[in-house]
Amino acid sequence: MTPGKEIIYLDDAATTPVDPVVAEAMQRCLSGGGAFANPSSIHIAGRASRAQVERSRAQVAKLLNTAPGNLVFTSGATESNNLAIAGAARFRSHRGRHLVSMPTEHKAVTDCFAALEREGFEVTWLEPDQRGLLPIGDLEAAIRPDTQLVSIMHVNNETGVIQDIHQIGDACRRHGVLFHCDAAQSAGKLPIDLSALPVDLMSLTGHKFYGPQGIGALYLADRPECRIRPLFHGGGQERRLRPGTLPVHQVVGLGAAAAIAVERQPDDLAHAERLNARLWKGIRDVRGITRNGDPGHCFPGILNVSIDGIDGESLMLALEPLCVATGSACNSQSGEPSYVLRALKLTDRLAQSAIRFSFGRFTHESDIDAAIGVYTGAVDRLRSIMPKATA
């Protein structure tokens, strides 16, 4: 961001703004008389902190319709994903070393699987169809007698494509395979009922649904098969699965965010749908524009578009002060086009021009209107600089 420019923030899929009610709850926790003590301490102050932690756990559990005891606090979705995937794979490695996932998963998942491959595990990577969805027949065909774990995300962080996790979970249950779901983009935003979903492990993080960064949770189904090996060793916190002193103010923030989400989710979703429709209507006539991900299967808080014949890096600079993500959102250091969009069979040229708009509770229609103006203006300006045949 250029100092002095007022930003237009449409990057909720990276991090949502913290809800003021959440910030207030955290502030109370950090201020004098708040829950500053170690929740593992048995004295009165420690017990007060513990009460705050367990209240938050219950709030997150209510959001997911599960029991509080099924949740382990972590530092966020990356840690939850690693704990679930590596933890389950290693725990079950004596039964088999075959795992299944998709190349369109977040790096926190794909890189974890890559690390397991180096440990001797075998991973089958299932390609999405052109809509970005997992063909369920491909999953069924990929599962083998030695398959131990399937990991498929709920909502894709780049395209917003929603996988049918009920159907995927059913297939896994039929074959006796654990199913992990990265719900970083959906928890708190889409209804999730873990009492009805055949999901064994689910990752979530606070900063994607108006909570603070640095706090997340892992759900473990209350089933005998659903056991994992911890990544860290130390104290006995979090059922020995995630040792370390809990950051009480972060946990309180996560709980507050979950409590708000329980109340606001239907309204937030309807709001996102209105914003999505308004944004697409405003840019759909731009020459060469393509919508990435099947709109019929997408979370409405994300709209990903590519545009033929525009350099993505120049587009990002031309879009300032609009805060959005590029087609190389998670690969900005490498400058490589998005591996997610390439998996959807986009050409490198289209993938590198991709822009992900993401928005939510605190996005106003005026933000969308401003974004439309900035985006269309930037495309026109870059086309006036480019060689004609390209433009």
- Residues near other proteins (CB under 8 A) are 2, 309, 311, 313-314, 317-318, 335, 348-349, 384-388, 390
One-character DSSP codes across 287-350 = TTEEEES-GGGB-TTEEEEEETT--HHHHHHHTTTEE-EETTTT-TTTTPPPHHHHHTT--HHH
Nearer to other proteins, 193 or 348 (CB): 348
Q: Is 201 exposed, middle or buried (0-12, 13-18, 19+ CB in 10 A)?
A: buried
Burial letters for 303-320: b for 16+ Cβ neighbours within 10 Å, e otherwise? Answer: bbbbbebbbbeebbebbe
One-letter amino acid of 283: I
Nearer to other proteins, 227 or 349 (CB): 349
Least distance CB 352 / other proteins (angstroms):
8
Token pair in block for residue 328: 């190389």
- Give CA–CA dist 144/245, Å, rounded: 40
Nearer to other proteins, 235 or 377 (CB): 377
Catalytic residue among 29, 112, 172, 330: 330
Annotated catalytic residue 323: no
- Residue 254: φ, ψ to 5°: -65, -45
Nearer to other proteins, 366 or 384 (CB): 384
Least distance CB 309 / other proteins (angstroms):
8
**Dihedral class, residue 33 (left if φ above 0, else alpha if ψ from -120 to 50, else beta):** left
- Among residues 218, 248, 243, 242, the alpha carbon closest in space to that of 50 is found at 248
Nearer to other proteins, 10 or 351 (CB): 351
Nearer to other proteins, 45 or 385 (CB): 385
Least distance CB 111 / other proteins (angstroms):
22
Least distance CB 390 / other proteins (angstroms):
5
Nearer to other proteins, 237 or 326 (CB): 326
Q: List, edge to edge, every strand of the sheet that includes 325-326.
A: 289-292, 302-307, 355-358, 325-326
Q: List, edge to edge, every strand of the sheet that includes 98-101.
A: 71-74, 216-220, 201-205, 178-182, 147-151, 98-101, 122-125
Least distance CB 2 / other proteins (angstroms):
8
Least distance CB 381 / other proteins (angstroms):
9
Nearer to other proteins, 21 or 286 (CB): 286
- Give CA–CA dist 303/156, Å, rounded: 11
Least distance CB 333 / other proteins (angstroms):
11
Q: In Å, what is the CA distance from 260 to each residue of 100, 148, 158, 195, 242? A: 35, 36, 25, 20, 26
Q: In Å, what is the CA distance from 64 to each residue of 26, 183, 204, 270, 271? A: 22, 11, 10, 20, 21
Q: Which helix (H) or strand (E) holds 89?
A: helix 77-91
Least distance CB 311 / other proteins (angstroms):
6
- Among residues 221, 230, 190, the alpha carbon closest in space to that of 74 is found at 230
Give me the active site residues, please. 330
